[in-house]
Amino acid sequence: MALPTLDQIIFPEQANHNFSRILGDLKRANLSISNRLNSICHDAAFVNDVADALKLPLVANERCGSWYIDPARKAASAYFKSTDGHTGQWKFSTRRLNLQLLELIGEHDGCIIVDSTRRGKRMPDALSKTVPTWCAVLNRALFPSESAALTPPPPPPPHDHDALSTPPDAVSPSEASQMTALLPSFVSSLLSLRLDLAPLRQKLAKPLRPVWITPPPGDGGGNGYDSPTEANLLAVAVEEVEEVRRAGFHPVVCCTASRRVAGAGTEMVAGGYIQGAGDDTENWARGLTAGVFWRWRAELLAATEGDLPGLIAELVEREERETEGEGKDGGVREVVEVEGRGVVFVGRLGARVEEEEGACVVRLVPEVTDREGWVKGERCLEVGIGKGKGASRVLRDALPKICEFVLAYLRRPEVGEDDGAPRKVVVLCESGKDLSVGIALAGYCWCFDDEGRVRLGDGEVSFNKAAIRVRLGHIVTAYPEANPNRATLQSVNSFLMDWRK
């Protein structure tokens, strides 16, 4: 009797289920927390080598970039979104201007922006397209050429500062051309914010030009990159940076921390190495942050996979206690002025605010409370707004009461300038960067006219998105760490543009 061929063999259904389960278990095992933390350390070593070779300060493109930079070497943070570089969705964000980088770039003649991306891509769109767009827009705004006044302008020469520079192995000529066509509208969006560009221009000696560096091939898994290959790569990067300087530009080095891993399941053949291990932390980190990881790195790397969840919970809880008591997490513990006239400030809950000095304080606490109990005094409002996206939705209904409370404070005669008492409105939230910024924006629009005077009349006032965007631009310029989420800004826009309340 002839033996059956493979296509004649019928596997029981249970066997197929077990096979799928086994593959799933293997994938989850290779994407373990310990593999992620070891991969992050592996990639952070490459980032350090780049910084040592180029002798430039490191900037983390949040949130992912901070995982790959030792806090002792982190010079600044930036917010360049990959979605602003997605094909067909190119955008210059007026919400995240990143203007705080200009002084750093001018002082050090360049910087290194660090980010990573998940499996399959060589570099994130934030570095290949969003940062180049930012450089080109700022160059056109801060270093306008005579040709920019002509209609239509002639095509720029290859090294003209008006040109968009993109990595040819990541951005096709067709896509680069489409992006270039949008640059005039992006510049108009920036100019519409009516920012004072002269101080920004003084921070730079010359225009900006991006340079890209990605890790060389290697075996991953903690065994390091191929040293001769990395040495050659860094030597080329040093020469490219110097060439950019000789051409009359500040180099903005876009450093991808993780090497490319192509195809599913490749972690098993790469010794557990995970590309972009610091991404999507909400799915694996169990509350662990980059700051906590770097502070307790030795303990975390020495722990077994089974012990890691408990250790992480213990470290996160310890960090939260210290944050509440001493403010050691590097966040905003003091209040920060956000509107340019020394009146509106934001900060984190727990910041030291002296209400007896006459400040009006609005605290946004993470527990939902009855609005009847929000008023705690003539100058103190404690709003139980909740947490997360739910808080952003509650914000819309809370804004009328908050803004009227602040406006009543600002209109009080004893708070006026005549008696020498300073006006000061302080808004505090958990992060000091999201909800408090939204309240500050709403109050900035609601309580002040275009000249910055307290609104005295009770007549109808109208706002549109353009006017709100201008004032948001002032806030993020004064406070670059401000990072209000989309839901928060939608609530502010809805309140300010709906006068049927």
CATH number (domain holding residue 405) = 3.90.190.10
Q: Is the pLDDT of residue 77 over 50?
A: yes
Please write the tens of the pLDDT for every residue from 401-414.
Answer: 999 999 999 988 76
Is there a contact between 468 and 399 (Cβ–Cβ < 8 Å)? no
Same domain, 164 and 230: yes
The strand pair at 250-256 and 58-61 is best described as unpaired
Last-in-domain residue among 330, 351, 366: 330
Per-residue pLDDT band for 499 (boundaries 50, 70, 90) equals: low
Predicted pLDDT at 329: 44
Per mean pLDDT, which of 175-179, 263-267, 272-276 is the most reliable?
175-179
Look at residue 231 and tell me if it is in a domain: yes
Whether 432 contacts 337, CB under 8 Å: no
Residue 2 lies in a domain: no
Whether residue 170 is found in the same domain as residue 189:
yes
Do 256 and 292 sit in the same domain of this protein? no
Cβ(416)–Cβ(336) under 8 Å?
no
Dist. CA 125–CA 279, nearest whole Å: 14
> What DSSP designation does 480 have?
T
> Do residues 380 and 277 both lie within one domain?
no
Mark whether 388 and 448 lie in a shared domain.
yes
Evaluate whether residue 234 is within a structural domain.
Answer: yes
In-domain check, residue 27 = no
Q: Which residue has the higher pLDDT, 59 or 421?
A: 59
Asked whether residue 9 is assigned to any structural domain, the reply reads no
Q: Is the peptide bond before 122 cis (omega within 30 degrees of 0)?
A: no
Question: What average pLDDT does the chain have?
Answer: 83
Question: Does 126 share its domain with 253?
Answer: yes
The answer, as to whether pTM is greater than 0.85, is: no
**Do the domain assignments include residue 20?**
no
Rounded mean pLDDT of 206-225? Answer: 75
Query: Which residues contact residue 56 at a Cβ distance below 8 angstroms, ignoring those fewer than 6 apart?
Result: 108, 109, 110, 111, 112, 241, 251, 253
Evaluate the CA torsion angle 272, 276, 282, 285 in order and state its sign: positive
Q: Are residues 450 and 358 in the same domain?
A: yes
Q: Indicate the DSSP class of residue 127.
A: I
Strand ordering across the sheet containing 250-256: 74-78, 58-61, 111-115, 250-256, 208-213
- Domain boundary among the residues 330, 363, 388 is at 330
- What local confidence, expressed as pLDDT, does residue 452 receive? 80
Are residues 79 and 200 located together in one domain of the fold?
Answer: yes
By three-state DSSP, how is residue 447 classified? helix
In a domain, 471, yes or no: yes
* Burial of 236: CB neighbours in 10 Å, binned 0-12, 13-18, 19+: exposed
> Which residue type occupies 230?
E
* Residue 114 resides in a domain: yes
- Structural domain count, the chain: 3
Same domain, 156 and 273: yes
pLDDT of residue 327: 44
The model's pLDDT over 454-487, given as tens digits with 9 standing for 90+, comes to 887 766 667 888 889 999 999 998 898 888 888 8
Q: Could you tell me the residue range of the domain that residue 364 belongs to?
A: 336-497
Do 401 and 385 belong to one domain? Answer: yes
In a shared domain, residues 172 and 212: yes
Write out pLDDT tens, residues 94-119: 988 999 999 999 999 999 999 998 86
Whole-number Å distance between alpha carbons of 365 and 388: 12
Same structural domain for residues 91 and 112?
A: yes
| Residue 268 pLDDT grade (very low, low, confident, very high; cuts 50, 70, 90) | very low
Burial (CB < 10 A; 0-12, 13-18, 19+), residue 164, is buried
Task: Return the closest-CA partner of residue 211 out of 121, 128, 120.
Answer: 128
